[in-house]
Amino acid sequence: MSFTSFLDGTRWSDVYTAATCAFLAGTAMFTADFALTLHLQTQGYGGFAIAALIICATLPLVLLAPFTGRMADRFDSRALMAVSGLVQTAAIVAMAFTDNLYGLYGLVIVNAAGTAVLQPVVSALVPSMASREDLPRAVALVQTGTLVGLAAGPAVAGFLIGASGIGAALALAAACAMARVLLCCDIRTRRGGVRRPAEVHRATAGAGWRLGGDRLLTVVVIAFSAVIAALCAVNVLSVFLVREVYDASESMYGLIKACWTAGMVVGAWIAAAVIRRLDRDVQLAWMVMACLAGVGLVCFGQGMPLFTVLLMVPLNLLGGIFNAGENSALGIAVARRVPEAFLGRANAAVHGRLSAAQLIGFLLGGAMSVVMDVQAAFAAVGLVSIAIVLACLPAIRRAARDDEAGTPPAPAAKRELAVAAALTPIVSRPLV
C-alpha cells in the first residue's frame, strides 16, 4: 500500500529548472571524469590507476549514504544543493592546478561527495513539485536532463581536450557546476530545514521507516542490485567486445555506447506513459522485474556471435529502453511507499546499495577479463541476470499478498499532509 500522496497541482517551472540543473550537474560530473581518464591515459598510467579513479568517484556514494539521507531530511534543500555545487566547483577548479596522482584522487573524492549530497536531495524534492498524475512525466524530464548531460560530458571533453587541452575541459565542467548553483536558487519548492506541523511529526516519528521493513521494496532493490552488479561486470569488457572481437573502430564503439544512452532517453518517456496506467505498487515491482529480464536478454544477445557489429546498435537501443524503465518504475515505487519525513534517507539507502553493487560489478569485471572469453562473459551474465529475476518472483508474490492483505490505506489526514518523492535516474552510467 502507498504511504504518501501527491500535490494537487504541478509546479512545472520548478520541474523544468530542476531538469536543467540535472543536465548541468551531469555535464559537469562526466566532463571532469572523462577529462581525467584521458589525462591519466595520456600520461602513461595503466588500467589500475584508471580503475582507482572510478572507485574514488563511486565510493563516497556508498559510504556517505547513511549521512546524506539524513541531511536531505533535516536541512533546507536549496542550501544543500547550493553548497554541494560550490564544493564540486572548487574541486573541479583545483583539478586544473595539480598533476599529482594522489591529489587528483582526493579531489575526485571531494567531487563525488558533492554528488552524494545532491542525489537524495533532488530525489526527494523533484516529485514534491508534481501531482500524482504528472509525476511520471516530471521524473522523465529530470531523467532526460541527466542523461543528456551524461552523453554530452564525454563528447565535449574529448573535443575540448583535443583542441585546447585538459584545462579547457575542466573549466567548462566548473562553469556548469557553478551555473547549476545559481540556477537552483530559482527553484521555489523547498524541502527540509523547516519545523513540521505537530500532526505530521506524530504521524511519522513513531512509525519510522527502514528499507528492511518494506518487504516489497526490499525484494525489488535486492534484485536490482544483483543484476546491476552482474551487468557492470561486463560493462568493463564492452570495449574489448566491440574493438577486439568485431575489430570495430573507435567511432563505432562511441556510436554503440551512445545508443544505450539514447535508448534511455526514449525509455524514460515510454515508462512515463506506462506508469500512469499502473495504480498498484505491485505492478511497479513487476515492471522492474520485466525490465531487468529485458536487460539480461540484451546482454545475452550481445554475447552471441553476430554476423556484423552493426547489430549491436539496436541491441543497445533496446537495452537503454529497458534500463530507463526499471529506473522509473523503482523510483515511482519509492515515491508511493515512503513517508515524506524519511524520503531523503530512503533515496540515500537505495542509491547506496546500487552504488555498492556497481563497485562489486567493476571488481568482478576485472576478474572475468582474466578467466573468461569476452563473448562467453556477456552470455553468462545475461543468463545470470534472468535467473536472478526468476528467483525473486516468488518473493514478490508473497510480499504483494502480505502488503495488500495486511497494510491498511493511509488515513485521509495523513494523505493530505504527505508529499511525494521519486528517484532521479538510479544508474548514473549506462549499464552496458
Measured CA to CA in angstroms, residue 297 lies from 129, 147, 340, 366, 386 at distances of 36, 23, 36, 22, 7
| pLDDT score for 414 | 31
| pLDDT score for 194 | 54
* Whether the Cβ atoms of residue 271 and residue 329 lie closer than 8 Å to each other: yes
Q: What is the pLDDT along the chain (432 residues), one digit of tens a residue?
A: 333 444 457 788 888 888 888 888 888 888 888 788 778 877 877 667 777 887 888 788 778 877 877 787 788 888 888 999 999 999 999 998 988 889 999 999 998 888 888 877 877 777 677 777 777 788 778 877 877 887 777 677 777 877 788 888 899 999 999 999 998 888 888 776 654 444 444 444 445 567 777 788 888 888 888 888 888 888 767 777 887 888 887 667 767 877 888 888 888 889 888 888 888 888 888 999 999 999 999 999 999 998 888 999 999 999 999 998 988 888 888 877 777 677 667 777 787 788 788 878 877 877 787 788 889 989 999 999 999 999 989 988 888 887 766 544 333 323 322 333 333 344 444 454
- Nearest C-alpha neighbor of 367 from the set 270, 232, 265: 232
C-alpha cell at 321: 529502453
CA distance 319 to 243: 20
* Whether the Cβ atoms of residue 419 and residue 9 lie closer than 8 Å to each other: no
CA distance 99 to 78: 34
* Whether the Cβ atoms of residue 107 and residue 96 lie closer than 8 Å to each other: no
- What SS3 state is found at 171? helix
| pLDDT score for 412 | 31
* Whether the Cβ atoms of residue 146 and residue 23 lie closer than 8 Å to each other: yes
Give the count of alpha carbons within 13 A of 328, CB side only. Answer: 33
Place of cell 548531460: 149
Beta bridge partners of 7: 131
* Whether the Cβ atoms of residue 213 and residue 343 lie closer than 8 Å to each other: no
CA distance 247 to 231: 22
C-alpha cell at 203: 504521524
- Residues whose CB is less than 8 angstroms from the CB of residue 213 and which lie 6 or more positions away in sequence, other chains included: none
CA distance 323 to 328: 9
- Positive or negative: CA dihedral 173, 174, 177, 182: negative
